[in-house]
A and B are shown apart, each in its own frame.
Chain A
């Protein structure tokens, strides 16, 4: 029984939604928290999520696969804490589990500060147009069409800038060489 599911059957839909959101955000925080030092954790999580994706029947119609993958990831993480709890031979309620889970999946102020600094620096390493596209999209919340109009480029061009910029940020921030060396 997954703790997330157990919680969901209890206090009603409002909390269910809140938990779902918290856990999806949790997965992202989990990954971000491990950006520099937890490469193995990230690889392990990806490996397990990959196996579960393979077990998903091919005929399953996944409407929003990006969201679905995070749903799978959060159940992997929840299972991990469930196994840990059972192996601990200590009876603890789901609040304790949630507390442990929360520590792993919420923003750590020190990591948060480092992340923000590194993002600012990595952003500065991008070409100006890529910086502009990311800021207009993620800071100012503009639609891709609006960004295209403002910068006088095609929507496809905006998409390309976003993908290229994210890929560059990904290698700058999760630098695998840096970890090894």
Chain B
């Protein structure tokens, strides 16, 4: 599997949903529920609309598939149980890095994809052979781990990999998406911000900011499968303590809550963890928002300006933004931005008569206009 395909995981999730909803609406034209579901989804965000359009356009392209009828379906059917895809022909898609090995072999190879020239890899003396990976401002990288798992590391993040014969431990500072290869003999555990997140064959996003996130602490969003969360230093199987605050009620079938399930987080859920590994908040995952960073997008819905600015600053060391003034600190905005380009945000802010933009060297300060 190529790293760029892994990076497109978030897009693929949206594309699957678009294709499936369109198919349901097309095949059940008299079912108002299918139509309503498609409609609701497609108008939920510009990204959803785009995927709805692209899945329709794809039908048009597929209408001209294999015009000379060279592919023998019967032969494909004989291979139907074999899930290994045919290898891509050389030069399949321009700009895409090819993996020349079959998938089974690729799992045994560490593929480090450098997406920026300033990415630094260092080896820790403490764990000989235990590598750590670091990304600088605006950089992002995909790391294929020796067990077949992959880590997509967001900007200004680092992960240390400590694999042994009995366990797969990783220490995270920053944000990453983990796609975990199944291996019951070796638990896959991410240590972040005082919590241990143990995967049960899964894909999940972890974000830790040393407690500087507005929500506070570490945010774990589970995209597939189930994870078990426990406080750092607690023994295996010791459940996490859940604080009384659980503002968002979750659908019953997702098994949230209940003392035995306290530390379990299933696909579609996101939890915020305190520095002592307690779940302080549960919510449903907004898949598009959580994985948007993989496409260098920032998606905000009523987010305070200081937090938006902090997100942009994570992607740029060249130009940083700062917010000053009581009013500016309290403003909230929403929108989808290119993480590497804050100018649309600045243009928007500049239109606010109560705010003023000042440039000091490489820093842009957004502050309250005097007298407003």
- Contact indicator A167/B15 (Cβ below 8 Å): yes
Please measure, in the bound complex, the distance between the C-alpha atom of A31 and the C-alpha atom of B50, giving whole angstroms. 10
- Contact indicator A175/B93 (Cβ below 8 Å): yes
Encode B220-239 as 1/0 by CB contact (under 8 A) with A: 00000000000000000000
A66 contacts which of B56, B58, B76, B96 (Cβ < 8 Å)? B56
Query: Does A81 touch B at the CB level, under 8 Å?
Result: no
Please name all residues of chain A whose beta carbon is closer than 8 Å to the beta carbon of B20 when the two chains form the complex: 159-160, 163
Binding site for B on A (CB under 8 A): 25, 27-29, 31-32, 36, 42-43, 45-47, 49-50, 53-54, 56, 62-66, 69-70, 73, 115-116, 118-129, 131-132, 134-140, 144, 151, 159-160, 162-164, 166-181
Please name all residues of chain B whose beta carbon is closer than 8 Å to the beta carbon of A140 when the two chains form the complex: 73
Q: Count A-B pairs with CB separation below 8 Å.
A: 209
- Contact indicator B85/A127 (Cβ below 8 Å): yes
B12 contacts which of A134, A171, A179 (Cβ < 8 Å)? A171
How near does chain A come to B85, taking the closest CB pair, in angstroms?
A: 5
Query: Does B43 touch A at the CB level, under 8 Å?
Result: yes
Please measure, in the bound complex, the distance between the C-alpha atom of A172 and the C-alpha atom of B141, giving whole angstroms. 19
Given contacts A163-B19, A167-B12, A171-B5, whether A65 and B38 have CB atoms under 8 Å apart is yes
Please measure, in the bound complex, the distance between the C-alpha atom of A56 and the C-alpha atom of B39, giving whole angstroms. 11
- Contact indicator B65/A123 (Cβ below 8 Å): yes
- Contact indicator B69/A119 (Cβ below 8 Å): no
Q: A167-B15, A178-B96 are in contact. List 19 more A-B contacts (CB 8 A).
A: A50-B43, A62-B35, A65-B42, A66-B22, A69-B49, A122-B93, A124-B88, A124-B89, A132-B73, A135-B73, A136-B73, A139-B69, A162-B19, A163-B19, A163-B23, A171-B5, A177-B8, A178-B95, A180-B296
Query: Does B214 touch A at the CB level, under 8 Å?
Result: no
Binding site for A on B (CB under 8 A): 4-5, 7-8, 11-13, 15-16, 18-20, 22-27, 29, 35, 38-39, 42-43, 45-66, 69, 71, 73, 76-77, 79-80, 82-89, 92-96, 115, 295-296
B4 contacts which of A138, A151, A170, A175 (Cβ < 8 Å)? A175
Please measure, in the bound complex, the distance between the C-alpha atom of A168 and the C-alpha atom of B50, giving whole angstroms. 16
A172 contacts which of B5, B53, B82 (Cβ < 8 Å)? B5
- Contact indicator B53/A69 (Cβ below 8 Å): yes
- Contact indicator B95/A54 (Cβ below 8 Å): no
How near does chain B come to A162, taking the closest CB pair, in angstroms?
A: 6
- Contact indicator A167/B65 (Cβ below 8 Å): no
